[in-house]
Structure 1
Amino acid sequence: MTPEAFIARWKDNALTERAGAQAHFDDLCDLLGVAKPRDPEHYCFERGAKKSGGGDGWADVWKRGCFGWENKKPGRDLKAALKQLTDYALELENPPLLVVSDRERIEIHTAFTGYPDEPRLIHLADIGQPENLQILRWVFTDPEKLKPTKSLAAITEDAAGKFGSLAEALRERGNPPDQVAHFLTQCLFCMFAEDENLLPRGIFTSLLDKAVDIERATNRIAALFQAMQTGGDYGDAEIRWFNGGLFETVAVPQLMLSDLVTLRAAAHMDWRAIDPSIFGTLFERGLNPKKRSQLGAHYTDPATIMKLVEPVIIRPLMAEWATHRDSIRKLLDKSKKQGDKAYKDANAEFHQFLERLKNYRVLDAACGSGNFLYVALKTLKDIERRVNTEAEQLGLQRQIGIECGPANVLGIELDPYAAELARVTVWIGEIQWMLQNGYPVSDKPILKPLHNIENRDALLNADGTEAQWPKTDAIIGNPPFLGGSKKSGELGKTYFDALNKVYDKDVPGGADLVCYWFDKGRKQILAGDALATGLVSTNSIRGGSNRKVLDAIVSDMVIFDAWADEPWVNDGAAVRVSLVCFGMAGSATRHADVAQTPLRDDSLLPHAGQPISYLDGRSVARINSDLVSTDDVDLTSATRLLENSKTAYLGMKKGGAFDIAKELALAWMTQPNPNGIPNSEVIKPWVNGTDIVKGLQGKWIVDFGNEMPESSASLFEAPFQHVVQHVKPERLLNNREIRRRYWWRFSEPMPAIRSAISDLEHVIVTPRVSKHRIFSWRSSKIIPDDGVGLIARADDTTFGILHSRFHELWSLRMCTWLGVGNDPRYTPTTCFETFPFPAHLTPKDTSGWRGVIPADCLMKAVAEKISAAAEKLNSLREAWLNPPEWVEWVITPEEEKAGFPKRPVAKPGHEADVKKRTLTNLYNARPAWLDMAHKELDAAVAEAYGWMDYTPEMSDEEILRRLLALNLERSAKN
């Protein structure tokens, strides 16, 4: 068929909507040279079942992966047709294109996830134009060709960048940051409102386009904002009532023409395409001077947020609806006609669930700029729309509008910038959803006050008492992370002490700040003020003092969904987190027929109504507090053993720039002091985690011990002067009085370590955070940094046990985790003090061993095997790290006199070779000789345990099961 013939046939065609729809479509297929809809599974007319309440299914035409198509009679409202397709998009498998036509015109709407709708309109008279024929062919054959070039995220990033630059310029000229942020927030909302026709089309853009006089433009902007307060006239235009608090204060900062140019460029963007799921984060970075540096950094995408929203909100609500839907279906099966008792009962049950949705509340008690709140709001509105669709399919009349809205989401946020943006995020998200889904925006006012998003502290009141959270159904969010050791410094001593006073029974003082939100969530559930909680946390919540809040949670309720180790973006930085969802046992219940498009495979589900849990996306019987399934060995019951005490330590915390270069240290050793004592008494080799895995970095440190008075320290002239210059100014500002008073000493000089190693020639060290659990020997003369774990033992037997597969497995399950690389963090209390050493070879037994195993050792023979295997492993490693062909060992007379160890130095020409010889590189490669040396060591340690059935093929879980049994046996005897 030619375009001319097609136009002639369908111009002013009198056929009815029903009679003409399929004939028109078949002719269009002939015109385009594409197949006609004849396959009910992939491409057909009348996709979907007939609706019991009347109507013809979900779409007039449907092609899988391409489009849903709805036809109307010429002159009819195509918006209604588009709304029908939108309502049934889920049932149509979310096609990328939604097409509506009245035979006189064809509108093609893009519906690609994460991209804006870029509609194309083709009139009948223009259908023969080559570009229009190509577009229509792509609808049938290659819809990706019609995908918008810019994603919603890219458009939002672009807009945030423009506003960020403008905010910085305004602040640099002395405008108060809060005034700048509020003004620009008002501007961006105006740009959005005019593009969505909530303001007269182009009114704000036109104001900026015509602005040539700063004072006049300022006055006009202020006048428009004031009109939006209550509604009224602005020039010849009538302005609707917006209010909501956003325009309550009008204070335009001092502007320049360059500012108006930037605003003008931003106004000409399509603000309908702003993505609310990331809007708040990106604009907060631009408007908040404290977060300006994060512009352009990564952000958390909504799909990741859904890993909490799905189990905490969607899953239980859809389980509830599935139960109601089953009951409604049974009632309607009994109904003989619309309006009888069975029909009325079914309708009442439907509206009962709608009322449940209307009153459902979600709290984010650290809501930031509102990303989680928007995703929750959108989720509730999507659920309500879906429930209406399914009720209509059953034979009921769907409700006229959508009642879930901003009142459903509650927030608490300390930062006023973020709190205001959270409100704007929710407002924009609400308006976008309603318009995109064909519903009218609520009016009088357009922006309902959002007092439910509060600007306050979520943990403490101003008087230091515990802050209260409102009663809600679900709690979600991404609370702030702040390690226990940093809390006091970041929060201030007064706030830190108040936290400890209020929460001391439930949250250890050394726990991460995020743990307080977990504790509050648990208490809300126990009090009946919430049903379930889903929070993001640092992944170190699985161990150490942090885990105590999860211990309390699994004691009182269940963790029903968790992702133990996930990538995340926190304040623009890539981090590793744990996602934890918890509630009473019923929170884990999921109906067997909940979702047509579940987040996870429903084939994993047990019987309907049976509580289940998900860990990392797989169904498990139960999740332990270390975020390991009970299908695995539950090491959370392991306890610290007395025989392991006073042996393992973390190194010393400097609390200032005490470290010095090797060359400076060696020079100081030759300088005299008034007291006649060499500087080698107070300068020593310094070892951190990097030194252990990558070789000595040549750093030394000034160490005045834990008792030396200032008067004595001053007699070591050069070291003391260094500390006066580089340490004292910082330490005098420290918020802890003891650190200010003794500024010349380390902030944590660790007298216990000094005492434990005082009579040892060498000690065992391990990097606190490392990809591989590596142990190494170091002279007892070194000073270990707090990034080092130190074991105060000097025997190869202990060294061998620690370097065995058995201790490595134990430590990897008992450790915490850190950093983007998710490296395990070794902690003396959980990794070492809980580990059950072989009988008679515990740290208590080996105390005092010095190379030779005592004759009275009950395990002497096997201890010697372990010692020999350990010595062999270490010798082989040392020969690889520092081959004599490439390395020589040096020491100055002053070092030797002080008892310091020799230092390896690369021979000329071999510097690059030696630099590559690191323990990290060695264990990454794990050559055959290293693997065999470890297996020989493992066999000797297994013999010490009496595991004569041990082979390298023994499973990790079996080893952990046996070790746990030993731990519990010994714990019972203590």
Structure 2
Amino acid sequence: MALSWNEIKDRALKFSNEWAEETKERAEKDSFWNDFFNVFGISRRRVATFEEPVKKLSGNQGFIDLFWKGTLLVEHKSKGRSLDKAFEQATDYFPGLKEHELPKYILVSDFDKIKLFDLDEKTEHEFHVSELYKNVKLFGFIAGYQKRTFKEEDPVNIKAAELMGKLHDQLEEFGYKGHHLEVYLVRLLFILFADDTSIFEKDTFKEFLDQKTNEDGSDLGALMAQFFQVLNTPKEKRLKNLDDHLNQFPYVNGKLFEEFLPIASFNTKMRNILLEASGLDWGKISPAIFGSLFQSVMNPEERRNLGAHYTSEKNIFKLIKPLFLDELRAEFEKVKSNIKKLKEFHHKLSTLKFLDPACGSGNFLIITYRELRLLEIDILRELFKKGEQVLDVSSILWLDVDQFYGIEYDEFAAKIAEVAMWLIDHQMNMKVSEEFGQYFARLPLKKAAKIVHANSLRIEWEDVVSKKELSYIIGNPPFIGAAMKNKTQIEDMSIVFDKTINYGKLDYVAAWYYLAAKYISNTNIEAAFVSTNSVSQGEQVSILWHEILVNLGLIINFAHRTFNWKNDAKGKAAVHCVIIGFSLKEKQKKLFDYYDINGEPDELIARNINPYLVNGNNVFIDKTRIPICNTQKMIRGNIPYDDGNLLLSLNEKDELIKTNPELNILIKRYGGSFEMLNEKWRYCFWLKDVSPSLIQKSSFLIGRINKCKSFRESAKSKSVNSKAFTPYLFGDIRQPENDYLLIPRVSSHKRNYLPIGYISKETILADSAYGLPNATKYQFGILQSLMHNVWIRTVAGKLKSDFRYSNNLVYNNYPWPKEVSEKNKQKVEEKAQKVLDARAEFPDSSLADLYHPLTMPPKLVKAHLELDKAVDLCYRPQAFTNETARIEYLFDLYNQYTEPLLNKKKTIKK
């Protein structure tokens, strides 16, 4: 077990006094380093050797003064000799060392001075031997204490996961698979971590591998099986003749080593992988990061993207800080000057319980536990300042891993989460040991986080943790869109939403929101989830949030509006996410708004956060077939149902006309969103109101029509089958009789405006767009304005990250200005024409080119800004300062328009 820092400092002072007069290199060198290691409670014989033979860079035989494989290389000189030259001599040995033997530190001394080089951090420290007691923490790696600074893609985490992946593949190749393989790897994770962090004596497992197993790995599987058994057996119950090397390992318990596993088969390559892994500095491993990396080793496809399979701490803090951590920190600051209240607060922390019902490898639980333990250390620090004395530090550490609960569908991830909680617990115990000068480790393991391997949508959460005890629900459930759910996931949704209409349109994550809301109703529990932003947009809002906010009576307490939940894996786009915190508690409501979805948010205090994550009254916008304002209907485009047989590309049309010029009158330009935005129109046979005799003159056309008929007859849909009777016509015909505005059904979220345009009635409107017949310049101006675009961004659904316009949801519910003066209306028409004129100045550029956010022409930008001002004046005289102000105003106007309609419906029902 590691010595306390106080004891190490006492030993360091004694060491300095004893060696103050020594000057010769050879005579007492070995004793010097034996005593040096003893300062830190480590037997030099266990970890390091003197005069280790190795080939030097020159090819000559050399001897390392003292060598601890994979950790430390020492070069010793007589007093007054250059320590920098000693360092150069030390590095000359590197070419003769194996990869896993390369040291992390070089230590040089001349009895009078000591100089330590940290090769990973690229730092060096020099001091006199008499000052060792002031610098002992530089040598925490000897005692088992480690400074930990975790980066989101720390190379140590990546390297460790890669090695475990290689070992996984080798074991699996030899037939060691499934559950047994998962448990085996999780045990190795714990052992490797324990070997570097004072759970075991430093490097005892590494020494066991190196010295007690055959180089060909032939006996390693059997010895590991025995090793697992030893860790699962109290020392007093172990065999009396057990090998001393094995017997020195502590009793771990915690059920981690309880299950019997088949003996694995190893070879030279696998032993070397394990040796290389044991040579890494596992004290620098972050359980929060490594858990997800470790899980990814089970999937070779994911392993290629190591480094992108964790939830970053930054994103976790976005959830836990407003949910509870900020409040707890504020409470600590308030009570820290009062011992009685501080102790009460400490007790409160020890009673908090947390559930992550889709915990994966435990990232949210791990970071939450770490932050609470850091808060506990701050409490203890304050108590010590006020004169509180404690003989046994374990008696004042009240927080433990059994305050945490998780549910996870994947068994391997569940096991990782449980072990990772022990690892972070031990790291925090080491921090306590450093802070208060007493070594503390929880061995044998008696408590564990309760991580249940189950489908959280099919079990009772209260069987995992009672709602009477639970404090918070946290996590980021699976990001699976409504259309992407598999059969099992669809069944899950049917179980969760047994009485909710249209639940099939909800994303998979909605099930966790709904179950959490039901679970916390009539309690003080608070919940928050990360999810794709689609749960606060489009049709899902009315379906999901009416249940949560109206039927269950919950309140949204805080929310992060859309931001990028980045995934740095190649080929994987960032996910547009929101975080929503909800409960029954009335408290100050906070909205975090992102001007740049890749940047930092602005924090806003809200009077109410509605389900669209807007500061305003709760609004639930349902599809409606009739516009709520007095405006004409917007129609969907025509659907061919033809398997491509009634459609032509530009090249096909041109080639066809060369040989069949008589068909030209039967062909019309055809297109929708893509075609208009990119000026890449297609063509179609438009045979409505065409004489049958004219059609029958073309064998080419008859051939196409026959293919269309066959396609419709063989379709699974009866409605498509019925259209086989008129195979020469489009299946659904909704062509405007006059010129119309074309509104794309899908448009990039990157554009500042949704580009719309006037189209001739002779162009056949495709189903990928909507048409507004007989649209005036005033209507064009309103629909092309920033005001309408803000409405789209808030209310429309999404196709991946792009906006999905809808006539029934977006257009029909849009609150047009009311009682607009003729002067303001003319101003909009004038500025709308300016937008069209600005576009016309770039005849060679498509709308996609013109509305690209990086290359939008200044003239067009200016025209739009002037149009926006004109449209704003139709709504109110005061300027709108930002998008939030616009959408808040539009929601209020929507409520004004729809309240009479709702009251009318209620009256009819009565």
TM-score (norm 1): 0.63
Comparing 921-930 with 643-652, greater Cα deviation is found at 643-652
Quote how far apart the aligned CAs of 1:195 are: 2.1
Do the aligned partners of 1:692 and 1:767 also contact (CA within 8 Å) in 2?
no
Structure 1 residues 808, 311: closer, same or farther in 2, change over 3 A? closer
Aligned counterpart for 2:256 among listed residues 225, 234, 246: 246
Question: Alpha-carbon deviations, 1:289-347, whole Å to 9, x = none?
Answer: 56335424364321331222223232343455566656x45xxxxxxxxxxxxxxxx4x
Matched residue, 1:416: 411
Provide Cα deviations, 1:5-24, integer angstroms capped at 9, x if missing partner: xxxxx989999xxxxxxxx9
What residue in structure 2 maps to residue 368 of structure 1?
Answer: 360
For residues 171 and 565 of structure 1, the distance between their equivalents in structure 2, rounded to whole angstroms, comes to 42
CA distance in 1, matches of 2:16, 2:218: 58
> Which residue of the partner structure matches residue 970 of structure 1?
897
The yes-or-no answer on 1:799 pairing with 2:789 is no
CA distance in 2, matches of 1:922, 1:320: 45
For the pair 1:405 / 2:400, whether they are aligned, the reply is yes
Does the aligned pair in 2 maintain the 1:685–1:701 contact within 8 Å? yes
Q: Which residue of 2 aligns with 1:562?
A: 559
Structure 2 distance, partners of 1:744, 1:570, is 47
* Cα deviation 1:443-481 (Å, max 9, x = unaligned): 56336454x10111111249xx99986431111111112
Between 238-247 and 664-673, report the one with greater CA deviation.
Answer: 664-673
Deviations 1:3-59 (A, max 9, x none): xxxxxxx989999xxxxxxxx9xxxxxxxxxxxxxxxxxxxxxxxxxxxxxxxxxxx
Does the 8 Å contact 1:693/1:919 carry over to 2?
A: no
Query: What is the CA deviation profile of residues 723-765 of structure 1, one whole-angstrom value per residue up to 9, with x for unaligned ones?
Result: 999x99xx99xxxx759x969999xx9x999454454554522
2:662 equivalent to 1:662: no
What is the Cα-based RMSD across aligned positions, in Å?
A: 5.4
Q: What is the SS of the residue equivalent to 2:505? A: coil
1:257-296 map, 5 Å: 257-289=268-300, 291-296=302-307
Secondary structure of residue in 1 paired with 2:556: strand
Give, as a single letter, the amino acid of the residue that structure 1 aligns with 2:230: A
Q: CA 1:134–1:413 in structure 2 vs 1: closer, same or farther (change >3 Å)?
A: closer
CA distance in 1, matches of 2:731, 2:476: 38
Q: 2:619 touches 2:891 (CA, 8 Å); kept in 1?
A: no
1-structure distance, mates of 2:555, 2:371: 24
User: Which residue of structure 2 lines up, in the alignment, with residue 765 of structure 1?
Assistant: 743
Change (3 A) 1:963 1:480: closer
Label 1:254 to 1:135 Cα distance change in 2 as closer, same or farther (>3 A): closer
**Alpha carbons 1:870, 1:937 under 8 Å: kept:** no
Q: Which amino acid aligns with 1:799?
A: F
Matched, 1:880 2:867: no
**SS of alignment partner, residue 363 of structure 1:** strand
Alignment match, 1:165: 166
Distance 2:709 2:366 in 1: 52
Partner of residue 90, structure 1: none
Which TM-score applies when normalising by structure 2? 0.67
1:271 offset after TM fit, Å? Answer: 1.3
Mapped contact 1:649–1:753 kept (Cα < 8 A): no
Rounded Cα–Cα distance in structure 1 between residues aligned with 2:347 and 2:710: 69
Contact 2:815–2:894 (CA under 8 A) maintained in structure 1:
yes
**Matched residue, 2:187:** 186
- Give the percent of matched residue pairs that are identical in Structure 1 and Structure 2: 22
Letter of the 1:582 counterpart: F
Secondary structure of the 1:925 match is: coil
Q: Which residue of 2 aligns with 1:539?
A: 533
Rounded to whole Å, the distance in 2 between the matches of 1:495 and 1:246 is 31
Cα contact 2:798–2:804 (8 A) shared by 1: yes
User: For the structure 1 residues 351 and 807, does the alpha-carbon distance in structure 2 shift closer, same or farther, using more than 3 Å as the test?
Assistant: closer
- The residue correspondences of 1:723-802 to structure 2 (distance < 5 A) are 738=717, 754=732, 756-757=734-735, 759-760=737-738, 762-770=740-748, 771=751, 772-778=753-759, 788-797=768-777, 798-802=779-783
Q: Is the 8 A contact 2:472 2:527 kept in 1?
A: yes
Match of 2:482 in 1: 484
After superposition, residues 89-100 of structure 1 pair within 5 angstroms as none
In the aligned structure 1, how far is the partner of 2:383 from the partner of 2:710?
77
Q: Distance in 2 between matches of 1:827 and 1:298?
A: 35
Name the CA distance, whole Å, in 1 between partners of 2:720 and 2:732.
Answer: 18
| Residue 369 (structure 1) shift | 0.7
Q: 1:501 to 1:780 in 2, by over 3 A?
A: farther
CA distance in 2, matches of 1:752, 1:718: 13
Asked if the contact 2:746–2:802 (Cα under 8 Å) also holds between the matched residues in 1, the reply is: no
Report Cα offsets for 1:916-963 as digits up to 9, x if no partner: 971333884342255236625863x568x4x6x758788767766665
Structure 1 segment 620-639 matched on structure 2, within 5 A = 620-630=606-616, 636=619
- Give me the whole-angstrom Cα distance separating, in 1, the residues matched to 2:862 and 2:231: 73
TM superposition shift of 1:670:
7.3
8 A contact 2:641–2:720 mirrored in 1:
no
Residue 837 of structure 1 pairs with residue 816 of structure 2: yes
After superposition, what is the alpha-carbon deviation per residue over 1:588-646, rounded to whole angstroms, capped at 9, x for unaligned? 599xxxxxxxxx9xxxxxxxxxxxxx98434444433322335xxx5837777775179
- Contact conserved, 1:544 with 1:827, CA < 8 A, in 2? no
Secondary structure of residue in 2 paired with 1:880 = coil
Pick one of 852, 864, 876 that aligns with 1:921. 852
1:244 match: secondary structure: coil
**Distance in 1, Cα, partners of 2:641 & 2:107:** 68
Distance 1:780 1:223 in 2: 83
The 8 Å contact of residues 316 and 587 in structure 1, kept in 2 or not, is answered as: no
The answer as to whether partners of 1:376 and 1:409 remain within 8 angstroms in 2 is no
Q: CA deviation at 1:537?
A: 1.5
Q: CA deviation at 1:222?
A: 2.1
2:563 and 2:578 in contact (8 A); partners too: yes
C-alpha distance 869-171 of structure 1, shift in aligned 2 (>3 A): same
How far does residue 160 in structure 1 lie from its aligned partner after superposition? Answer: 0.8
* Matching residue's letter, 2:520: I
Counterpart in the other structure of 2:380: 388
CA spacing shift, 1:870–1:137, aligned 2, 3 Å: farther
Q: Distance in 1 between matches of 2:473 and 2:672?
A: 45
- SS of aligned partner of 2:609: coil
- 1:292-441 matches, within 5 Å, as 292-297=303-308, 299-318=310-329, 321=332, 325=336, 328-329=338-339, 346=340, 352-397=344-389, 400-438=395-433
Q: Is the 8 A contact 1:457 1:467 kept in 2?
A: no
SS of aligned partner of 2:498 = helix
- The alpha-carbon distance between structure 1 residues 500 and 933, as it changes in their structure 2 partners (threshold 3 A), is closer
2:654 matches 1:644: no
Contact 1:559/1:623, CA 8 A, preserved across alignment: yes
**CA distance in structure 2 between the partners assigned to 1:252 and 1:123 by the alignment:** 46
CA contact (8 A) 1:764 1:794 kept: no
The reply to whether residue 235 of structure 1 matches residue 216 of structure 2 is no
2:851 aligned counterpart, secondary structure: helix
Q: Which stretch shifts more, 556-565 or 152-161?
A: 556-565
Tell me how far 1:536 sits from its aligned partner: 0.9
SS at match of 1:446: coil
> Does the CA-based 8 Å contact 1:644-1:833 persist in structure 2?
yes
C-alpha distance in structure 1 between counterparts of 2:810 and 2:497, whole Å: 26
CA contact (8 A) 2:815 2:890 kept: yes
Task: Quote how far apart the aligned CAs of 1:281 are.
Answer: 0.9
CA distance in 2, matches of 1:453, 1:218: 29
> Alpha carbons of 1:369 and 1:637: their partners in 2 closer, same or farther (altered >3 Å)?
closer
Cα gap change, 1:475/1:640 in structure 2, threshold over 3 Å: closer, same or farther?
Answer: same
1:446 lines up with 2:408 in the alignment: no
Q: Give distance in 2, aligned partners of 1:264 and 1:958.
A: 61
Aligned length: 739
Aligned equivalents of 2:111, 2:268: Cα separation in 1 = 46
1:541–1:816 CA contact under 8 A, matched in 2:
no
Distance in 1 separating the partners of 2:15 and 2:854: 79
**Aligned-residue offset at 1:800:** 3.0
Query: Which residue number in structure 1 is paired with residue 23 of structure 2?
Result: none
